[in-house]
Structure formats: C-alpha cells, structure tokens
Amino acid sequence: MEKVSQEQVKKDIIGGLTAFFAISYVIIVNSMILAEAGIPPEYSVFGTIFISVIGSLAIGLVSNVPIVITTGMGVNSFFTYTLVIGLGLNWQEALAVSFSASLIYLVVALTSLKDKLNDGIPDNLKHGITAGIGIFLVLVGLEKGEIIVRGEHTFMTLNSFSSPTLWLTLGSLVLTLWLFLKNIQGSFFIGIIATTIFANLFGLVPDAAHSFSLSAFQNYPTVLAKLDFSSFFSLEFVLGTFSLAMILIFESIGLFNGLLPEIGRKQFNKAFVVNGVVMLLSSVLGTSPTIPAAESATGIQEGAKTGRMAITAGALFGAAIFAIPLLSYIPSAALAPVIIMTGCLMMSNLQHINLSDMTEWFPAFIMIVMMAFTMSISDGLAFGFVSYPLVKLFSNKQKEVSMTSWIVSGLFFLYLLAKIWL
C-alpha cells in the first residue's frame, strides 16, 4: 500500500510540473493582454502570479483535486476587448465588473443552484464539452507551435516548412508521442525539458522581450484594490457583469466536468466554491478572473489524481516570481506538443456521444465545432446549450428536456443577444 501511495505522490508531482510548464505562458501573456486595457504589465504580472499561487494551493488543499487555478485566457480577452475596448469602461471599472460577476458566481456556488445547473447538463453535452475543450487545446497547440498560421485567403493554413519553429514542434511532438506510447512516466515533462535544452543549444529560442524586474514590485500597489463602482447602474456595467457571470459559471462547470468527468459531488462543490472565492480576490489583486485551467489535463494525463498536483503547480507559480526571465527560455515548440496530445486524449470522449439520435449528437457537435472555430469555450457552450432544446422541440421530444435545461438555454440565448450590444 505504501509503495502504491509513494508512486501516486510521484505522479502527482510530475503532473504538477508538467501542468505548470504547460500553463506558465499565462504569466506573461495575461499581463500583455491586460496591458491593452491600460493595466501596466510590469505590475499586473504580480497579480497574475499571486492569484495563481492562491488559487492552486487553495483548490489542492481544500478540494484535493488535480486542477490548476489561474487567470482564464478567454476571460482576460473578454476583460480587455469587451469590457474596456468594446463597452468603453476603464480598467478600474472593468475590475469592478469582474468582482460583481464573481460575486454572482459565488452565490451560485454556495446554493443549490450549482447542483441544479450541473445536473441539468445532459450526458451527451458533458461529453461534448470534454471533446470540445480537447479540439480547442489542439488548435491552441498547433498555433503555439506555429504549425498552423493565419492564411492570406483563409483564417488558417499550414505554415511554411522553412519555419524552424515548425520543425522543432514536429520533432518535439514525435519525441513526446514516442515517450508516451512507450508508457515512460513523465513523458510530457521529459519532452518539454529535452526540447528546451535542444532549442537553447542551437539558438532556436527568440530573444526575450520582457522588461520585468523584481524591483517593480514596489509599485504594485498602484493596481492593487483599485475597483471603481461609479458606473454600477449603467447599461454597460450591467451587460458586462451579466455576460461575464454567464461565462464564468458555465465555463467553470464545463471545465470541471470536462477535466474530471468522474468527480464526486462533494469534491465538485468544494472546488466550485474555492474558485468563486479566488475569483473575488483576483479583482482585488488587479488581474482578470480565474477559471480551472484547461492545461490541467496535461498533468492529469501524467497520472496525477490528487490535490498534490495543484499544490506543486502553485509552489512553482510562487517560485516564478524570481524566475520569470528563465521562463522565456522555454520555447512554444516545447509546450505545443503537450497541449496537442492532451487535446487529442480528451477528444476520445466522442465515443460516448449517442450518434444514433441526431437530437443528442447535433448539440454536442455544434458545441465542439464552435469551441474550435470561434476559439472560445464560452461561445461553444452557448451554441450547444441553445441548440439542445430546439432540436428536441423540432423532433417532438421536448418532454426529454428538463426545466433546468430550458432555463440554461434561455440564459445562454440572452448571452448571445447581449453580444450584439457588446
């Protein structure tokens, strides 16, 4: 028994290392996206790190699940390009919107509403969520590894084979795939390290373009607790809060179920509440809201099963304060194969979708397609949930739709309508 326990500890730690490296780009990228909203990146980087440490440690210790909590990549884009650029709010008001939306999330998390919402998701849609997140990750990996790029006449095309990054990604993918199929423990992590060493030895890593220094921490209070509720009753504030709350609630439900399809009710409830509390803190710390990171799946695929994975990742986020310049030495080509393979493994849930009944598989199909081609998990969820009761109604099977599903569908329909004004 002790031997098995020690083996699991090893898998959890390796899983935490792998998941951290897979999601470490968020430290830099999140700050760069928020910079377009007006938040100085050299200060917001601390908020990103601190909330990732708090979130990952909290969910690991309280919920004991192998999930990394950090700022959401789709959510930060909503923060910058919708709340600030689209609705015209300043970044302080956008932080107040994030706080308000997180408060709504927490109310749902602390009541039976979360159970009704979670139980109201049909099994086929749950499998569709997992597969959709999978293909979403595959596209993210293909883009990060520069295997696909924006085409001249199409929105994506195969990159030129003259690209050294493409060759490095393909080589790393072959290595990682070989290690994985040989059942070598830590295959993903080994692939990342081996590719990083090779890339640096042969000068294949672009020069870092970060102006980060630890001395900037003394000015971090300029973005700390700067929430501005002066526009609380404006249409822009209300629409922004409603839309963001919808994204946070259903994207989190989808990610928790997608990453941990066998998660128990007790663990789900704890994890959901923990994420809500961390979300509130993210606004105070001067950064965008948190969600369960889809890249957590990379650690889970390494065999991680407990909160030790999250604790390990949280500790590494803390250490990253002193090692941010070192992260720039990890090429995207080293991370891309891990993300691609994780997405591939998640897409195996397609086998559980009932393909004999179009009213069951069409909503899952449209959800998967929209997640991939809008590059938005929340938009994919909206199309999937809105289409589900419609196809049932068109086939005279409306009795199969629960009241919860009707309500969720209506809320997502309002979310899509709100995007017209947003």
Q: Is the model more confident about 69 or about 83?
A: 69
pLDDT at 214: 66
Q: Is the model more confident about 122 or about 149?
A: 149
pLDDT at 323 over 90: no
pLDDT digits (tens, 9 = 90+) for 347-374: 888 888 888 999 999 999 999 999 888 8
Q: Is the model more confident about 184 or about 168?
A: 168
pLDDT at 93 over 70: yes
Residue found by looking up tokens 């979130």 in the block: 55
pLDDT at 391: 95
Reported residue count of the chain is 422
- Stretch 322-329: mean pLDDT: 72
Q: What are phi and psi of 291, to 5 degrees?
A: -145, 165
Q: Is the model more confident about 15 or about 415?
A: 15
Name the pLDDT band for 79 (thresholds 50, 70, 90).
confident
pLDDT at 156 over 50: yes
Q: For residues 10 and 216, give the distance between their C-alpha atoms in angstroms, rounded to a whole number.
A: 36
Name the pLDDT band for 212 (thresholds 50, 70, 90).
low
pLDDT at 291 over 70: yes
- Stretch 160-170: mean pLDDT: 93
- Stretch 162-167: mean pLDDT: 92
Q: For residues 396 and 415, give the distance between their C-alpha atoms in angstroms, rounded to a whole number.
A: 26
- Stretch 60-87: mean pLDDT: 85
pLDDT digits (tens, 9 = 90+) for 266-288: 788 888 999 999 999 999 999 99
**C-alpha separations of 149 from 155, 159, 284 in Å:** 8, 6, 37
Read off the pTM: 0.76
Q: Is the model more confident about 106 or about 263?
A: 106
Q: What is the mean pLDDT of the chain?
A: 85
Q: How many Cα atoms occupy the beta-carbon half-sphere of 80 within 13 Å?
A: 20
Name the pLDDT band for 328 (thresholds 50, 70, 90).
low
Q: What percent of the chain has pLDDT over 70?
A: 94
pLDDT at 172 over 80: yes
Rounded to 10 degrees, the C-alpha dihedral 31/34/40/46 comes to: -40
pLDDT at 376 over 80: no
In sequence order, what are the residues at sequence separation of 6 or more whose Cβ sits closer than 8 angstroms to the Cβ of residue 131? 346, 347, 348, 349, 350, 353, 364, 368
pLDDT digits (tens, 9 = 90+) for 215-247: 667 778 888 889 999 999 888 888 888 878 877
pLDDT at 209: 44
pLDDT at 4 over 60: no
**C-alpha separations of 77 from 137, 168, 285 in Å:** 17, 29, 18
- Residue 139 C-alpha from the chain's centroid: 14
- What's the per-residue H, E or C state across the chain? CHHHHHHHHHHHHHHHHHHHHHHCHHHHHHHHHHHCCCCCHHHHHHHHHHHHHHHHHHHHHHHCCCCCEEECHHHHHHHHHHHHCCCCCCHHHHHHHHHHHHHHHHHHHCCCHHHHHHHCCCHHHHHHHHHHHHHHHHHHHHHHCCCEECCCCCCCEECCCCCHHHHHHHHHHHHHHHHHHCCCCCHHHHHHHHHHHHHHHCCCCCCCCCCCCHHHHHHHHHHCCCCCCCCCCCHHHHHHHHHHHHHHHHHHHHHHHHHCCCCCHHHHHHHHHHHHHHHHHHHHCCCCCEEECCCHHHHHHCCCCCCHHHHHHHHHHHHHHHCHHHHCCCCHHHHHHHHHHHHHHHHHHHHHCCCCCHHHHHHHHHHHHHHHHHCCHHHHHHHHHHHHHHHHHHCCCHHHCCHHHHHHHHHHHHHHHHHHHC
- Stretch 148-159: mean pLDDT: 88
pLDDT at 130 over 80: no
CA dihedral for 229, 232, 234, 237, sign (positive or negative): positive
pLDDT at 1 over 50: no
pLDDT at 311: 96
Which residues are 292's β-sheet partners?
69
pLDDT digits (tens, 9 = 90+) for 9-45: 999 999 999 899 888 878 877 887 788 889 888 788 8
